[in-house]
Amino acid sequence: MTSPVKLYIYDLSNGLAKQLSAQLTGRQIDGIWHTSIVVFGKEIFYGQGIAQSQPGKSHHGTPLQIVDLGETSIDQDTWEEYLEEMREHYTADKYHLLDFNCNSFTNDCAGFLTGGAIPSFVKDLPTDFLSTPFGAALRPTIDAMYRRPSPGAPAAAPPPPVASALLQAVASQAQASSTTPPAPLAATESLAGPMHPCTNSASFRSLIRAHRAVVAFFTDPQGCPPCRAIAPLVQKLADEKGTRSATGRGAAFTTIDIRVGAGNTLAAEWGIRATPTFMFFLNGTKISELKGADPNELKTQVDLLLFQAYPPHPHSSLPLPTIKALSLAPILFTQVPALDTVLAKLVSFVDAVPSSSSSQAKEILRAQVVPYLKSRFASETKPLPSASPALLASWSAATNTLAGSLKPESLFPLVDMWRLAALDPAVTAWLAITPAAGPVGLFARTARDALAQPTQDKGTRNYVLTALRLLANAFGSAPLARVLLAGPGSDGAAIGTLVPALLHTDAAVRTAAASLAFNAAASVQRARVASGVGLGGVNVNQGKPDAADAAAAADEEWQVELGSALVEALQREEGEEVVHRLVAALACLLRFAPDDGQVLGLLEVLGARAVVLGKLKTASVQKKEVRKLVEEVGALCPEA
């Protein structure tokens, strides 16, 4: 006699993910999925340990979707025994929102009951989320929610307020029990996430298909002293070399206890005759095996697996001391103008085209915006006050009103106010989740259109210059930079402004544009360095791109456009300061770029090496440090 097996699917974000994901991540994510198994008239799920309730009666409410996983021939007593064994592994302190969660549990159960797996759109959600720069930026915050900080460790940067609220809501929902209110997240000394217990063949095969590199530890902790002796090292290696990074570069570590679930059957399937035994998988294929508890050999095999999965980038072996010493901090324009004078200038422009709506906008600027800017940037107040969402909403509405009634050359005082405000993290966080980056996106589009005109007067020049400085400051925020470069509704306005500005006749405009170019390219380099791409960045995944590959592909279009503009600007530029910033931007775009990517291919066609090294023969490069940088960047450029 068989029994039906159902998968209940819930959205832990209660619709927020679907509403905000495109703005936050640049990708539509329809839900933060929680799943539970329904079999033998009960709903079983993992959060604060393994819990159960009547189907549809848990604290998660009514499921959004019910998936039929098939039938099981396993009887209820065997199922209950399996759950008891699983309680030792699926404990509250091991829960991790991304690495070891309710979906890990239901996938294990599905494999035991039916030999199948849960739907891929549920299993792949963490990878999809982390493949976005926003997800990568939040990874340290998520990790910090599930571990106790080490003494002396730097605090993780706080996420934007909306993202923080969303994370806390999801985490509390995920770990709440069915009978008690949400409890504070349990702190553990280290993340348990990198260790994935497998109790049956289906979940094991699902794991090795899902990860580029897998280390499988077949163990018998009850009857095997060497297994117990080597276990701490396995956990340490999982912590250090597991798939905890934002890009998933690392190995998935799984432990198979031959006394738990169908572990013994799984061991027999793979020919395990003694414990401990380690198996190493690359792209779903077993490449080596280690029998016995040999710590040194285990470390060697893990390192060899990772080397094969992520070969070092060719640039990692080049001596590039000047490029390596480059600060990747964004170039910011922090000068505080006389705010009353700025307001008076803007008001004079507004009064020249009076309207009732403009009068209201003037009042918002006078009564709310300028006092905020003064309190944050023109006083010694500690701590620095941040802009509230209410203020930003009012200011944004006033900005839209004025942008609709004033010509671009009359808007530069307003742009300068936003330029200053973009130094406030609360402002950039708000802009990052505002459609099309709000006023910053609006100013970028206006600047792009102004630069497209055949003639430009002094007023237009002032507007474009101020808009470029605003964009440079905006790129101090990684989430906002991502929205401006490739987010929904961005319309390519930031790059569309930057490219012609690099060739502008005005030196100040070119300097601001070169600063923006560096900030954009530095954001790419920071992501590559943080992902460990220099230590292992060549894609040998045979059609299974990891998160870093997906993010790189999404970014390549604007990177190609920027690379082309940098080469053309270098050909024409004579000012040493601008040349320095242009070459530094090119260094960030080049270093650790994919060998088979479009960026290197384009630079080869454009003869970038000859252009860069040609600057050494001109009077525009005199300083020793600039000449060294030019030489190193020339060496990085592909030969034509």
Catalytic annotation, residues: 34, 102
The two three-digit tokens of residue 162, written as one number: 């909306």
Q: Going by C-beta distance under 8 Å and a sequence separation of 6 or more, which residues neighbour residue 89? A: 197, 199, 257, 260
Contact 604, 595 (CB under 8 A): no
- How does DSSP assign 62-121, residue by residue? S-SEEEEEEEE-S-HHHHHHHHHHHTTTS-GGG-BTTTBSHHHHHHHHHHHHHS----HH
222 burial (CB, 10 Å; 0-12 / 13-18 / 19+) is exposed
552: Cα separation from own chain's centroid: 11
Supply the angle between the helices 478-486 and 438-451 in degrees, to the nearest 10.
50
Contact 146, 189 (CB under 8 A): no
Question: Tokens 């792209």 — which residue?
Answer: 283
CB-facing half-sphere around the CA of 404: CA atoms within 13 A: 10
The two three-digit tokens of residue 48, written as one number: 């604060």
24 burial (CB, 10 Å; 0-12 / 13-18 / 19+) is buried
Q: Is the dihedral of CA 334, 335, 341, 342 positive or negative?
A: negative
Alpha carbon distance 35, 156 (integer Å): 29
Alpha carbon distance 541, 545 (integer Å): 6
CA distances from 72 to 56, 264, 302, 450 (A): 21, 20, 37, 67
CA distances from 291 to 230, 277, 301, 380, 405 (A): 12, 4, 12, 65, 76
Strands 213-219 and 277-282: antiparallel
Alpha carbon distance 188, 263 (integer Å): 27
Q: Going by C-beta distance under 8 Å and a sequence separation of 6 or more, which residues neighbour residue 13? A: 31, 32, 166, 169, 170
- How does DSSP assign 386-401, residue by residue? ---HHHHHHHHHHHHH
Q: Hey, which residues does 216 pair with through a beta bridge? A: 254, 279
Please write down the HEC assignment for all residues of 153-192: CCCCCCCCHHHHHHHHHHHHHHHCCCCCCCCCCCCCCCCC
DSSP 8-state class, residue 623? S
CA distances from 198 to 71, 94, 127, 205, 258 (A): 21, 14, 19, 9, 10
At residue 26, the 3 state secondary structure works out as coil
At residue 612, the 3 state secondary structure works out as helix
